[in-house]
């Protein structure tokens, strides 16, 4: 029973990163189909999905070194996602700007969470 309680935050963050990537994909569907948006969308879809995928891999890591490397990649991908979301936000006139700004804030919060995990794991 203790093991389950200790694992709970891990799975909550896995779900949080999944929901984040899903939300990014949902908002991308609403963008005008310009060349810039198509290219920016490809980038943000890749980086947002990579945040959670690398965190899942971190949880299956065979060593502490591997764990830290995967979490650092998740942090890097969260930072990259922030960049692409900001770029999309500032180059489009969108009705759902609030939703996009919430996603930007979530990407920043995820980066901070991964930074804290890295610090605590040293």
5 pLDDT above the threshold of 60: no
Q: For residue 55, which of 24, 76, 27, 26 has the smallest C-alpha distance? A: 76
What whole-number distance in Å separates Cα of residue 79 and Cα of residue 101? 15
Domain span at residue 93? 2-121
- CATH number at 33 reads 1.20.1440.60
Q: How many domains does the chain have?
A: 1
In the block, tokens 């060349």 appear at: 35
The per-residue pLDDT for range 45-101, each reduced to its tens digit, is 999 999 999 999 999 999 999 999 999 999 999 999 999 999 999 999 988 899 999
7 pLDDT above the threshold of 90: no
The per-residue pLDDT for range 23-35, each reduced to its tens digit, is 999 999 999 999 9
pTM of the model: 0.89
């Amino acid at each position: 029973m203790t093991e389950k309680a200790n694992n709970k935050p891990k799975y909550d963050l896995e779900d949080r990163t999944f929901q984040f990537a899903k939300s990014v994909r949902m908002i991308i569907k609403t963008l005008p189909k310009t060349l810039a948006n198509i290219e920016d969308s490809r980038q943000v879809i890749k980086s947002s999905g990579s945040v959670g995928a690398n965190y899942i891999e971190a949880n299956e890591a065979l060593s502490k070194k591997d764990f830290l490397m995967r979490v650092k990649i998740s942090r890097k991908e969260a930072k990259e996602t922030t960049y692409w979301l900001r770029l999309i936000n500032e180059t489009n006139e969108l009705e759902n700007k609030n939703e996009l700004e919430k996603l930007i804030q979530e990407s920043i919060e995820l980066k901070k969470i991964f930074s804290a995990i890295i610090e605590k794991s040293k």
